[in-house]
Amino acid sequence: MKLLYGTTNNGKLQAMKNALKDSDIDLIGLNDLEEELPQIKEDGTTPLENAELKARAYFEVFHIPVFSCDSGLYFEELNEEEQPGLQVRRIGAKELTDEEMIVHYAALAEKHGGKITGRYRNAIYFILEEDRHFSSMDMSIATEPFVLVTRPHPKRVKGFPLDSLSVDIATGKYYYDLEVKDVSTSVDDGVRAFFAGAFRANQESNMGEILEQIKILSMTVTEEEYNTNLEQSYDCLVKLHDWGVDKDNVYRPLFEYLNRLEDGISYNFIADTLDFVTGWCSPEKRIWDKD
């Protein structure tokens, strides 16, 4: 599916593409769109509130599945007044460039003995449909603790300036000198788990709605409209199959519903619907058994 990441930062977009590269998501960013971008006042008090503000604004304009992220940076050695929190790139009213950030945070480390220990608390707000919203600020999408030092690594990645100052606690090496990890990818497992959980929850919700439609068809069916309703029930099953819902997960709730019905037209209707699920029907009407 095509999914909009609400960012103009190409570095962040590429990092997210790397995290989701093995999924079925076709990820695009705001720079891929031709429409004018909305002006958003990020005045939330937490990363999650800001992520929600952005995602809602982009969804209202573009009407496609979209998610936005935000983060706050917090250090063990800093008092509350010194914490960057949501204002990672700002000093007062000034927004820092990548190089200015490196200079500023290196000075903070120098002030506190040459190093400071912190982590990013990250948030995701995902709008799949108008009434399907998913969000997280779980620790699984927070970075592991890391150390910022005074002397930057020579490597730079645009949009991730503090990675150049970041040192792995376990090894004492710059993240850029490690073979398999860096600060920008340390939350990838949590991001993948978030989207997998969101899509799974959405599928379960959709499945519940479709099964409810089948039950309503069974309750409203008449002799005259039996075949018409049964064809609609069949179409519902095809939709569940195309969404990747397992046959047993369709059969089980319908069979439990059948057992609560008394003999009659509704009972027969669900029994005939179950024949489509199990494949006890004409070959051209088989759904799962022809996979």
pLDDT in tens, 201-260: 998 899 999 999 999 999 999 999 999 999 999 999 999 998 888 999 999 999 999 999
**Cα 141 from Cα 5, distance rounded (Å):** 16
Q: Report how far residue 99's alpha carbon sits from residue 141's, in angstroms, rounded to the nearest whole number.
A: 26
pLDDT of amino acid 132: 93
Q: Say what the pLDDT of residue 186 is.
A: 62
Question: What gap in Å lies between CA 165 and CA 110, rounded to an integer?
Answer: 12
Give the confidence band of 180 by pLDDT, cuts at 50, 70, 90.
Answer: low
Question: Cβ contacts of residue 184 below 8 Å, gap of 6+?
Answer: 15, 157, 160, 163
- Residue type (1 letter), 258: L
Distance CA 32, CA 262 (A): 57
CA angle 90, 94, 96 (to 5 degrees): 60
Q: Please state the pTM of the whole predicted model.
A: 0.73
The secondary structure of residue 163, as a DSSP letter, is G
Residue with tokens 């788990």: 193
Low-confidence winner among 100-109, 173-182, 267-276 (lowest mean pLDDT) = 173-182
| 62-79 mean pLDDT | 94
First to last CA, the chain: 22
CA distance 221 to 215: 10
- Quick count: other Cβ atoms within 10 Å of Cβ 189? 12
Question: Mind listing the pLDDT tens digit for each residue in 143-161?
Answer: 889 999 999 999 999 988 9
Does the CA dihedral 14-49-53-2 come out positive or negative?
positive
